Each structure stands twice: as structure tokens, then as C-alpha cells.
Amino acid sequence: MNWKRHMLIDEQRYVHEKIMESIGSDDDGFFFLYGYGGIAKTLYETLSAVVRSKGLIVLNVASSGIVTLLLPGGRIAHSTLTVPIEIMRHHCLRWKRIVLGQTWQILPVVRKGTRQDIVDASINSSNIWAYFNMLRLTINMRLGV
């Protein structure tokens, strides 16, 4: 089942294939998707549909309610995963397959934390950051560029 795969442009198709290769293997799959607004919604929808069509579980979670509206079956991470807000940072990431994107839009909450405390709590300060495959999308589909 390719659902909306035919709607993906070349760079989205490349990202889709990389992630799907990981799902078909026994290796951990950690992916960080770089890009601007308007470039990944169709990709996320397609990935979710294809993975679910294989009988696997997909949890589309985000750190803000607005983003969850854009994800198929999207939910807020801390309530879906029962993670207390106080520890909503990189320490909570311990799953088999992870696709993250645009984590800089909402920084981790560190009560009474300094700028450095916030940086230290972010995903790219985590010891698992080195295991993430960096994928970049550059073409904004909303602009038709």
C-alpha cells in the first residue's frame, strides 16, 4: 500500500525510503528531519499510513497541541506517553524507531533553568544524538517551489 506516496517529491521519497528501510531491519532507527514549515506533512501522513498498513503501531506525538492537528491521529507527547512535564526532555526517548523534526520550535521546559540548562536538556545534547540519521528537506510544498 503506497497511500500518498505518489504525492511525494524526490527528496521526500528519499526520506521515506530511508525510514522504511530501517523499519524492515533489526537495527534501531533514529532519524532527525530538518526542514521548514510546509515540507513534511504529506511525508508524515504517508509514513504513518504505510507503517500502519504493515500492522505496526505508530504514535504521532508532538510537544504542542497545534502540531498534533497536522499529524494523523496526533496527540500531545506528555499526555500520550504519561510523561510528567518536569522531565519532558531528551531523557524520555528510549524507543526502537524515532523520527523527530523541528525540535527547535519548542524548547524543553526547565523550571528556573539558565540558558545552558535548557541547552543541556535538548535532544541534541543527549548521548543518543550521535545515533540519529540527519535527513534534510528543503522544498516547501506550500509555496510550490
SS3 82: coil
Q: Tell me how far apart the alpha carbons of residues 139 and 141 are, in angstroms, rounded to a whole number.
A: 6
pLDDT of 104 higher than 60: no
pLDDT tens per residue across span 37-55: 667 778 888 888 998 998 9
Sign for the pseudo-dihedral over CA of 29, 11, 33, 80: negative
pLDDT band at residue 93 using 50, 70 and 90 as cut-offs: low
pLDDT score of 123: 77
pLDDT of 65 higher than 70: no
- Picking from 97, 105, 107, 116, the residue whose alpha carbon sits closest to that of residue 31 is 97
Match 521548514 to its residue by C-alpha cell: 36
